[in-house]
Amino acid sequence: MIEHVDILIIGAGPAGIHAALAAAPSGLRIVLLDDNPLPGGQIWRDGPQASLPTQATRLRERLQACANVQIQGSTRVIARPAPHQLLVENDQRGWIIGYAKLILCTGARELLLPFPGWSLPGVTGAGGLQALIKGGLPVAGERVVVAGSGPLLLASAHSATKNGARILRIAEQASTRAVAGFAMQLPRWPHKWLQSLQLFSPAYRPGSHVLAALGDDRLEGVRLMQQGRIRELPCDRLACGFGLVPNTQLGEALGCALQDRAIAVDAWQASSLADHFAAGECTGFGGSELASVEGSIAGHSAAGDQAAARRLWPQRARWQGFAAVLNRAFALDPALAALCAPDTLVCRCEDVPFAALAAHCSWREAKLATRCGMGACQGRVCGAATAHLFGWQPSAPRPPFSPARIETLLRLDGQPPS
């Protein structure tokens, strides 16, 4: 049996929530699907130590009040049985959803670049540390170093500090000049300017990047390049993230064109595939405000209300301006591609070192020869890393897109579970 909906939205972060709210007045049947239990995405993730902002709580209440919007939490996309159909699965069952319009709001993930020692226990992504803390990880009294690039470093350090950690250093790879130029333009977006003042830490050091995580069985310290000088700091935890990578896998599998490694969209947030829209960080990183307005435009467009969508264009342009300034200021230094030693693991799932990959000339060739990208993360970590290290473009994913139960996969052949 196939469930039929008018608009299917994949991803319940800021973009997905606003897409659903924008489309809801049309009266169309809308399903909002996410692999997290509750709407909010990574930015408003729940957990024992999570403190949701008022904005997130109000958006959830508005969604619950929409009788024609159904929220499917803890649900993953498994495959595409046919055009305008997706096989999905939650903890109880698998089923096929047929849709007239699809809005992809699949967000982004951290870019994790390999360096010596990055696989030691105690080393996580910057956003990963935030998620772990919200999930209940105790960090009180721990000495923490945060490194990488972008505003997420300050947010991660702020979360750790609120939960009792001691931040020794926030190592930002962007130069002092680039960070200062970014800060000077922030008053154009007063909310962001105030936010940066609230998050600022005296441990922040621009022109700094990680060289190695130190330790034998677990993290004991970190070696940094700071303003041209090598520094070593003993620490208990290292959180390291080099910005974000758009989650385009589902869009690619459906046939959506990419531009600058993000899903390409037009002024209506429509992708290259008819009746398929995209919004938020899967179309390029620009923060939750840009994702929200893009989601609203996509929702109005999918529901056929182009006048309402057009009215939001100036607001989107404003936040696109912020995104351009942000991405320019925190562009990655090419030197970060040289952090690996020959024995540094690049694919941690399959234990593939840098030297084994450097002998190949493409993602496909390296994957066939070394099993890089064939482990549990299915290339989500090492694929982005090799794109930065070697300029490789990982191939479009093939189903199943997520681990699935056999009874769910049987539905691809039209066989209901026994």
Dihedrals phi, psi of 18, to nearest 5 degrees: -70, -30
User: What's the predicted TM-score (pTM) here?
Assistant: 0.94
DSSP element (H, E) containing 254: helix 249-254
Residue carrying structure tokens 């441990």:
203
Asked whether residue 22 falls in the same domain as residue 83, the answer is yes
Sign of CA dihedral 170, 176, 179, 185: positive
Q: What is the pLDDT of residue 415?
A: 58
Left (φ > 0), alpha (ψ -120 to 50) or beta: where does 255 sit? Answer: left
Burial 118-137 (b: 16+ CB within 10 A, else e): bebebbbbbbbbbbbbbeeb
In this structure, the answer to whether residues 322 and 256 fall within a common structural domain is yes
Identify whether residues 249 and 227 lie together within a single domain: no
The three-class DSSP label of residue 9 is: strand
Residue 184 resides in a domain: yes
Among the candidates 242, 257, 284, a domain finishes at 242
The answer to whether residues 116 and 213 belong to one domain is yes
Q: According to the model, what pLDDT value does residue 132 have?
A: 94
Give a yes or no: residue 62 inside a domain: yes
Please check whether residue 263 is in contact with residue 248, taking contact to mean a CB–CB distance below 8 angstroms. Answer: yes
Asked whether residue 47 falls in the same domain as residue 129, the answer is no
Q: Is residue 381 domain-shared with residue 353, that is, in the same domain?
A: yes
Q: Residues 224, 309: one domain?
A: no
Which pLDDT score is estimated for 1?
75
Q: Give per-10-residue mean pLDDT for the chain (418 aa).
A: 94 97 98 93 78 86 96 96 96 96 96 96 95 92 97 94 96 96 93 87 96 96 95 97 94 94 97 98 94 98 98 97 95 92 94 93 92 87 91 85 91 68
pLDDT of residue 197: 85
The number of domains in the chain is: 3
